[in-house]
């Protein structure tokens, strides 16, 4: 059963010092090398959320979580027996964990990207997005996040032709899509995501958790 951890944070606020110290050196270096502050913060928050999620699921201390990368860049945690996927964007991060391969993608709803619509979406997906004048942006990001979640579950990365990923079929896995405020989140897994398996968090709760303050999962 997939479980989703969804985090909302202030996109351009500074990263709380208590949080930064919980990131491993390689992630800190990578975040420091990202010029755009919103992207750097999103990457940092995403990696903290992974450590939170894997720690909650495995009972290990966040500092003991080891993350490695496969040849295509797909991250994984050896010896935990937990499959997971990460997405971070301007103001939100999503981590999905499961006993089976899983993919997640979160995007802030914005204007329909016409070039992606024409070149990457299949005729059926284009027709779905353009089916009515209202709600086109949300439907576009619904399809986009499903494609990305499927690609991440598969793990081959961008060597897959995105056009070949049909988000209306179950060929890549079962999809669940949610709208969380301004964000669309899709999960692609062996089973659909159930509402009771979604944990929504805000930045302050994550700060409290990493500061070792009382924290209870609702």
Ligand X SMILES: CC(C)(COP(=O)(O)OP(=O)(O)OC[C@H]1O[C@@H](n2cnc3c(N)ncnc32)[C@H](O)[C@@H]1OP(=O)(O)O)[C@@H](O)C(=O)NCCC(=O)NCCS
Interface with ligand X (CB under 6 A): 43, 46, 72-75, 85-88, 105, 116, 120, 144, 147-148, 151-152, 155, 157-158, 162
- Per residue, what are the HEC states of the chain? CCEEEEEECCCCCCCCHHHHCCCCHHHHHHHHHCCCHHHHHHHHHHHHHHHHHHHHHHCCCHHHCCCEECCCCCEECCCCCCEEEEEEECCEEEEEEECCCCEEEEEECCCCCHHHHHHHCCHHHHHHHCCCCCCHHHHHHHHHHHHHHHHHHHCCHHHCCHHHCCCCCCCCCEEEEEEECCEEEEEEECCCCCHHHEEEEEHHHHHHHHCCCCCCCC
Q: How far is the CB of 213 from ligand X (least distance, A)?
A: 26
Q: How far is the CB of 117 from ligand X (least distance, A)?
A: 9
Q: Which is nearer to ligand X, 113 or 215 (CB)?
A: 113
Q: How far is the CB of 116 from ligand X (least distance, A)?
A: 5
Q: Which is nearer to ligand X, 23 or 86 (CB)?
A: 86
Q: Which is nearer to ligand X, 86 or 178 (CB)?
A: 86
Q: How far is the CB of 84 from ligand X (least distance, A)?
A: 9
Alpha carbon distance 217, 212 (integer Å): 14
Q: How far is the CB of 35 from ligand X (least distance, A)?
A: 15
Alpha carbon distance 17, 48 (integer Å): 12
Q: Which is nearer to ligand X, 100 or 213 (CB)?
A: 100
Q: How far is the CB of 139 from ligand X (least distance, A)?
A: 12
Q: Which is nearer to ligand X, 94 or 205 (CB)?
A: 94
Q: Which is nearer to ligand X, 11 or 75 (CB)?
A: 75
């Amino acid at each position: 059963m997939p479980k989703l951890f969804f985090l909302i944070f202030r996109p351009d606020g500074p990263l709380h010092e208590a949080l930064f110290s919980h990131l491993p050196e390689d992630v800190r270096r990578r975040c420091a090398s990202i010029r755009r502050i919103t992207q750097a913060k999103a990457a940092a928050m995403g990696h903290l959320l992974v450590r939170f999620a894997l720690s909650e699921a495995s009972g290990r201390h966040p500092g003991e979580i080891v993350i490695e990368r496969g040849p295509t860049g797909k991250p994984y945690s050896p010896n935990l027996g937990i499959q997971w996927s990460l997405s971070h964007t301007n103001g939100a991060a999503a981590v999905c964990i499961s006993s089976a391969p899983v993919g997640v993608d979160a995007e802030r709803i914005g204007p329909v990207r016409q070039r992606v619509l024409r070149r990457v979406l299949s005729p059926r997906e284009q027709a779905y997005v353009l089916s009515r004048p209202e709600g086109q942006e949300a439907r576009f990001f619904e399809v986009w996040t499903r494609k990305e979640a499927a690609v991440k579950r598969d793990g081959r990365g961008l060597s897959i032709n995105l056009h070949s990923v049909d988000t209306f079929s179950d060929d890549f896995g079962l999809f669940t899509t949610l709208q969380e405020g301004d964000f669309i989140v899709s999960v692609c897994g062996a089973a659909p995501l159930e509402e009771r398996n979604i944990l929504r968090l805000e930045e302050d709760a994550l700060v409290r958790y990493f500061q070792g303050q009382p924290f209870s999962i609702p």
